[in-house]
Chains A and B, each alone.
Chain A
Amino acid sequence: MATATADSTQRRFSGAQLSRALSVVMVVVALIAAWELYKVIWKAVDLTVPVRPDNVTMPHVWDILHEFTQPARRGGEVLLILLLRSSLVTLFEAVVGFAIGAAVGFGLGVTFVRSTTAERAFMPYVVASQTVPLLAIAPMIVIWGRELGLPSWLVVAVIASYLTFFPVAINTLRGLRSPQATATELMRSYAASPREVLWKLQVPSALPYIFTALKVSATAAVIGALIGELPGSVGTGLGRVLLDYSQRFAVQSPKLYATVLMTCLVGIAFVGVVTLVEHRLVHRRLDPEARPA
């Protein structure tokens, strides 16, 4: 009986997985078809706006994919290998930056929820920090990092953390304030210490909010790492490769597209890992049908 139930659950589960995989494939196919169809139609009616349909501006999808197997430089390693190596560098910087940013953001959230005075005093600067363009800040951080003798990956990580901490701080604060008033009164009636209220009530209540922020931050950390790699030729990551190929766009546009695809995959992989951790940590109301009458 129990085995039968487990079997059917498993079958239903893999069925859901199959249809999910199928929908992903269908979207990819549709996107490729749209891209190629655009080229055909725009060429036929001789339109050049918004984007020229020629093979430099919009290479064929198969040319982009083929480029992955070609040498990145004459006689050098295959592009895919170069991109994978660069991806690891960028991903490492992004993950470290993400960790720093998440820790700082969480710390700010906890500080602000404990002290309204601190919130009033510092929140305007936290908000202001995000209105300063990262492109203006990144070179400064690179220079300071160099003066301090920090390794370049750490400098890039710090730049990535600059984009990461803000969503985490705001959502942590929101989440820590989310428990019902009666839940707080209940903890008070047990004479719980502020630390116990934080860890047993506020942080678990805040987890769904924090993970929403972490998913935003995961992509932001990748963007931050890419931008961080640009000034002063720091590092050997995807940002450098992007910069190289964008300067040689007229002759090597498929290489740039291939690199852009790779950055997307890095971002998706990162968000995917965060989502997996979320599924493990955040308790979900899995089956509303399970409620007895």
Chain B
Amino acid sequence: MSNDARVVVEARGVSKVFGASGSGQVEALRGIDLSITGGEFVSLIGPSGCGKSTLLRLVGDLLSPTRGELQVNGKNPHQARLDHDYGMVFQRATLLDWRTVRKNVELPLEILDSAPAERQERANRMLELVQLGEFAEHYPWQLSGGMQQRVAIARALTFRPALLLMDEPFGALDEMTRELMQQEVLRIWRETDTTVIFVTHSIPEAVFLSSRVVVMSPRPGRIADIIEVDLSYPRDEDTREADAYYAKITEVREALRRQEASA
């Protein structure tokens, strides 16, 4: 998490409108200004329909903005995608059923045309990182939900992307697994020096993980507040019981309430 002050994501006046012109249009995002520097862990939080997943997909070039300017590593998102600057993790692990865990992790490297030996070596290292080394030859359906999600994280990091985009990755997990995974993702983030954008519904999750929490409000989706979380890393179980942690949770909750009241 070396904050190298290099701007990784820069959004200026970004808007996204879905649907053809006319009454069927939905304004998902309006006037988003956001700047994320290298090594940050930024959470996007807000009620359904606030456009947090849309913003993530705009950054990842899975959607293109209707208006405004968006830059990733000083390039437009399309070029950044072609340069393999993104690793993505979704709520569903989306592993390929017919591939072993190792082959799933190797998939992005196959597309990047890495040599087989390098692929294997890299996949092994990533599986060690997410502590699933002994499950390399298993099939996805033989793993629990939390393990599948760890494979998805390993797969996303296997080609060393500058930016890790996570869309409610722990949304489908039980509370215990979820807390373990949060610890895991923090450890991986610190070990790999990636920048993370993390979409979540959960206030404690956002506060525990992030260096900054972006609070969004719906209809149309916009940024209501940005809250710095100045709790020191590494964070652990003690962090979850610290007063400063609770204070931040309250701060985020109040920010969410405020935009609800004004809506």
Partner of B98, one of A183, A185, A204, A293: A204
Q: Which residues of B (116-155) have their CB < 8 Å from a CB of A?
A: 139, 141-144, 147
Interface contact A283-B98, CB-CB below 8 Å: yes
* A191 contact set on B, CB distance < 8 A: 81-82, 84, 111
* A185 contact set on B, CB distance < 8 A: 57, 62, 88, 90
Partner of A183, one of B57, B94, B142, B159: B94
Closest-by-CB residue of A relative to B98 is: A283
Interface contact A182-B92, CB-CB below 8 Å: yes
**How long is the Cα–Cα vector from A292 to B112 in the complex, in angstroms?**
32
Partner of A201, one of B92, B96, B108, B143: B96
Is chain A's binding surface mostly helix, strand, loop or mixed?
helix
**How long is the Cα–Cα vector from A282 to B98 in the complex, in angstroms?**
8
Q: Please count how many residues in chain A sit with their CB below 8 Å of the partner chain's CB atoms.
A: 24
Closest beta carbon of chain A to B71's beta carbon, Å = 18
Interface contact B111-A196, CB-CB below 8 Å: yes
Interface contact B62-A188, CB-CB below 8 Å: yes
Closest-by-CB residue of B relative to A286 is: B139
Interface contact A291-B143, CB-CB below 8 Å: yes
Closest beta carbon of chain B to A121's beta carbon, Å = 23
Q: Mark A268-293, 1 if CB is under 8 A from B, else 0.
A: 00000000000000110100101111
* Residues in B lying within 8 Å of A, measured CB to CB: 57, 60-62, 81-82, 84, 86-88, 90, 92, 94, 96-98, 107-108, 110-112, 139, 141-144, 147, 159, 165
Q: What are 30 sample pairs from A and B whose C-beta atoms fall under 8 A apart?
A: A182-B90, A183-B94, A183-B96, A185-B88, A185-B90, A186-B88, A187-B111, A188-B61, A188-B62, A188-B81, A189-B60, A189-B86, A189-B88, A189-B165, A190-B84, A190-B107, A190-B112, A190-B159, A191-B82, A192-B111, A204-B96, A207-B98, A282-B98, A283-B139, A285-B141, A291-B142, A291-B144, A292-B142, A292-B143, A293-B144
